[in-house]
Structure 1
Amino acid sequence: MADHDDDIIEGSDEEGEEMTAAEVLQKLEEAWRTELVSPNLEPHHGDLVDCMLDQLKQMTKNLEKCKKHDFRVAVHKMEIDRIRFMICSYLRTRLRKIEQYTHYLLEREEKITDESMATISPEELRYAKEYAASLESHFQTLVLQHVPDKIQAFDATKMGVKPNLDAYVFLKVKQDSSGVLVEDESGEGRDEEVDLEEGNQHLIRYKPISHLLQNGNVALI
């Protein structure tokens, strides 16, 4: 039976370099944990999901070739179930955030000129637009048609719910990052710069470290 630790998946990372299935799984697990605890919708990792789904198909085929009483079958079945659960949880979490922040995300995506900077995938973007249209149609039928014409205008920007970027998150520093600006919450101008050392863990507001998260310098825990 093939062990996914040794399988090579070509062109699965951002640089197009070869990665083992185990490395893809590790990156996907980190993306999953990040999405679960982040107050914001993080950049999508559809390439990792697709690679892992292909790997699951191969693992399933390998199981069919094994003898029924092979003890490895039960172990690999549990691993397959674990990976499937992680992928489903990752995608469900993203859909929940897309539904919660629909108009905010659509407004933000419209301002992006470089596709590589997009947070949501083309499929997620299509879903967000369809969801927003359904909300508007439902609101029009349920409320607006029953109120005076003067107040029937539908302003999607005013309905948008924004993520709380000032929420606190736990993080682990993966790479030294100096001069991280932490703004004074009291508004008295007592901002300070902090140095994050590799291996340290911190409780800090999301906004000042969001760029470090996307660069891979820190990981949410």
Structure 2
Amino acid sequence: MNIDIDINFSDNLEASVDEDDEIQLTPAEAIALMEEAWINEKFAPEILPHKLELVECLLGQISYMEDNLRSLNSTDFKKIIHQLEVDRLRFLISSYLRTRLEKIETYVMPILDEENERIQQGVELYLTKQELKFAKDFAEDLQHHFDNITTTRLPREEWNQECVKPNIHSFVFLKSKEEVEGIVIDDGNDEDGDLVDLNRGSQMIISYKSVANLVKNGDVHLI
């Protein structure tokens, strides 16, 4: 679930889930959500729905903290501690974004195909506008490179079909944040899978396809 966040860095962050409901996030809670999104993105085989609002929220927090750092004396020990926190936030955000770009580069054609389906269906996209532009430009450059060096070896249609796709049946390690019943274990076989229940706080190794929607809606998180 994407959260639209209206930044107020005095004490709390106001987050709007829809037009009628608002929740309050402290900076610490926003950072915890970003850390969870980062770890999910690292361990999920497919690209996940973007967290642009959360990224922008924390970039605003970084700017706020840097403004405060300028007012501190260079010999003040608190300045060192706060600078370390700023550096940690910068690493967290950059690693999250870099992981998404690496997935786009690796699975560009499947990602674009799935994103085009979402556009046609009018549902929420997984990529930001900048990521979608990057993906299209990367695919175009890749196609141009392919046309220049391999047109006599493999037709373009066959090349598109041979693109690497994420293995959504790979196993992941997760922790449940909610009580979840009746998860169908999907390991890629045609046979009907067994059912498993998750208790709050329980941990499990399971096929990603079985819990993909639970990861995306926040009922579980990868570890």
With the length of structure 1 as denominator, give the TM-score of the two structures: 0.88
What residue number does 1:169 align with? 172
What residue number does 2:204 align with? 202
CA-CA distance at 1:209 after TM superposition: 0.4
Larger Rg: 1
For residues 184 and 166 of structure 1, do their structure 2 counterparts lie closer, same or farther at Cα, with a shift above 3 Å needed? closer
RMSD of aligned Cα (Å): 2.2
Structure 1: distance between partners of 2:220 and 2:43: 14
Q: Which runs of 4+ in 1 moved over 6 A?
A: none
Structure 1: distance between partners of 2:117 and 2:69: 47
Structure 2: distance between partners of 1:68 and 1:121: 38
CA-CA distance at 1:28 after TM superposition: 0.6
What residue number does 1:114 align with? 122
CA-CA distance at 1:172 after TM superposition: 0.4
- AA of the residue aligned to 1:196: L
What residue number does 1:74 align with? 80
Out of 127, 134, 138, which is 1:127 matched to? 134
- AA of the residue aligned to 2:149: L
The DSSP-based 3-state class of the residue aligned with 2:205 is strand
CA-CA distance at 1:27 after TM superposition: 0.6
For residues 23 and 164 of structure 1, do their structure 2 counterparts lie closer, same or farther at Cα, with a shift above 3 Å needed? same
For residues 129 and 41 of structure 1, do their structure 2 counterparts lie closer, same or farther at Cα, with a shift above 3 Å needed? same
With the length of structure 2 as denominator, give the TM-score of the two structures: 0.87
What residue number does 2:109 align with? 103
The runs of 5 or more residues in structure 1 that have no matched partner are: none
Out of 40, 53, 71, which is 1:34 matched to? 40
Structure 1 residues 146-181: Cα deviation after superposition (integer angstroms, max 9, x where no partner): x28xx6544563142210011100000100000101
> In the alignment, is residue 143 of structure 1 matched against residue 145 of structure 2?
no
Equivalent pair of 1:6/1:20 in contact (CA under 8 Å):
no
1:179-198 equivalence runs, <5 A: 179-183=182-186, 187=190, 189=191, 191-198=193-200
Q: How many residues align?
A: 212
